[in-house]
């Protein structure tokens, strides 16, 4: 087992939980960073940062809920300073594709004085199986703004594999990996693929950004709705309707496609129970 110690911030999240598990499997010492972990890490409690970074040689950074939230980039800047003071040698940042706030966060990490790798990710496929779109899928609906815009949706397993490679292998420092899936899909295309994988009829339901905002506000309040609607307007305007080779460059293999994700997720049983609550469109991981 390596003597290196890696802090995984957001270790209970979609990417962080997978990164931590994959590092464990490689024999890498992992410190899981979350509000309830053995060594707590809380973005809202800066006093937890230095203890979490003590003795750490590298760190995987995710900001919850999103780098677009007010104050997020400033907190990231402070965290980088704390990491540098703690002697951390390598930072791997998860960034959002097409989000200008996220790119400000990338600039903070680049200028931190610590070696870095940036993983700039497209929309998560797992939003349909573990996130805010699972209940709509169970109800046979796929409500989404953006009309016929296409998205190169990515399997979170690929993101985690790229992050783990960056943390454990030579040749990744100073690199930006913009990671997407291997195909451009509209939400109607995704609904058809999910229908085939689940055996249940799932219909794409176009909604306006105003309806998107109203649905989020019902569940998370107006402030959260304002931020996530701004992200949706920014990222679902066609700017992300291109493919990249980030997964191939980082891993030497192509990205997984959405149909394989959907088939695997269906076999895992994640869509096997009826939704118990009314369907709301809540945003996560856009």
Q: What integer is the mean pLDDT of 246-267?
A: 98
**Contact at 8 Å (CB) between 265 and 271?**
yes
* Separation between Cα atoms, residue 164 and residue 106, nearest integer Å: 19
Centre a 10 Å sphere on the Cβ of residue 110 and count the other Cβ atoms it contains.
16
Cβ neighbours of 205 (radius 10 Å): 16
Please give the Cα distance from 13 to 19 (Å, whole number).
10
Angle at the Cα of 155 from the Cα atoms of 150 and 159, rounded to 5 degrees? 115
DSSP classification of residue 154: B
Tokens of 158: 């690929």
Q: Residue 156 corresponds to which tokens in the numbers above?
A: 């979170």
Which residue(s) pair with 60 in the sheet? 8, 92
How confident is the model at residue 228, as a pLDDT? 86
**Overall average pLDDT of the 145-174 stretch:** 97
Q: Report pLDDT for 49.
A: 98
Evaluate if residue 90 carries a pLDDT over 90: yes
Q: List, in order of start, the domains of the chain with CATH numbers.
A: 5-121 (3.40.50.720), 123-154+181-241+257-286 (3.90.25.10)
What does the pLDDT read at residue 2? 61
Q: What burial letters (b/e) apply to 65-91, b meaning 16+ CB within 10 Å?
A: bbbbbeebbebbbebbeebeebebebb
- pLDDT for the residue 225: 86
Q: What is the mean pLDDT of residues 149-171?
A: 98
The Cα 248–Cα 118 span in angstroms is 15
Instruction: Find out whether 77 and 110 touch, Cβ atoms under 8 Å.
Output: no
Beta strand 5-9 with 150-151: parallel, antiparallel or unpaired?
unpaired
Q: What pLDDT does residue 273 have?
A: 67
State yes or no: pLDDT of 279 exceeds 80: no
Q: What is the pTM of this model?
A: 0.92
The candidate with the shortest Cα–Cα distance to 156, out of 10, 1, 4, 7, is: 10
For residue 286, is pLDDT > 60?
Answer: no
pLDDT band, very low/low/confident/very high, at 285 (cuts 50, 70, 90): very low
Mean pLDDT in the chain? 92
140 to each of 217, 248, 285, how far by Cα in Å?
22, 34, 21
Predicted pLDDT at 280: 39
């Amino acid at each position: 087992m390596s003597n290196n110690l890696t802090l995984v911030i957001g270790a209970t999240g979609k990417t962080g939980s997978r990164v931590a598990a994959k590092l464990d499997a490689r024999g890498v010492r992992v410190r899981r960073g979350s509000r309830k972990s053995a060594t707590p890490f809380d973005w809202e409690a800066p006093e937890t940062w230095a203890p979490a970074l003590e003795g750490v040689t590298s760190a995987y950074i995710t900001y919850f809920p999103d780098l677009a939230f007010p104050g997020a980039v400033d907190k990231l800047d402070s965290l980088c300073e704390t990491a540098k003071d703690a002697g951390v040698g390598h930072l791997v940042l998860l960034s959002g594709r097409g989000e200008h706030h996220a790119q400000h966060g990338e600039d903070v990490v680049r200028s931190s004085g610590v070696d870095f790798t940036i993983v700039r990710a497209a929309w998560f496929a797992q939003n349909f199986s573990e996130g805010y779109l699972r209940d709509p899928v169970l109800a046979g609906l796929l409500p989404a703004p953006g009309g016929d815009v296409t998205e190169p949706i990515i399997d979170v397993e690929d993101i985690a594999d790229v992050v783990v490679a960056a943390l454990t292998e030579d040749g990744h420092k100073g690199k930006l990996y913009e990671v997407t899936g291997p195909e451009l899909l509209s939400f109607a295309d995704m609904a058809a693929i999910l229908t085939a994988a689940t055996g249940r009829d799932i219909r794409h339901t176009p909604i306006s950004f105003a309806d998107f905002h109203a649905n989020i506000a019902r569940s998370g309040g107006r402030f959260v709705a304002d931020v996530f609607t701004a992200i949706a307007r920014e990222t679902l305007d066609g700017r992300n309707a291109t493919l990249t080779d980030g997964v191939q460059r980082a891993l030497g293999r192509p990205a997984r496609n959405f149909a394989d994700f959907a088939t695997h997720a269906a076999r895992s049983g994640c869509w096997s129970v009826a939704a118990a609550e009314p369907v709301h469109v809540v945003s996560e991981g856009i």
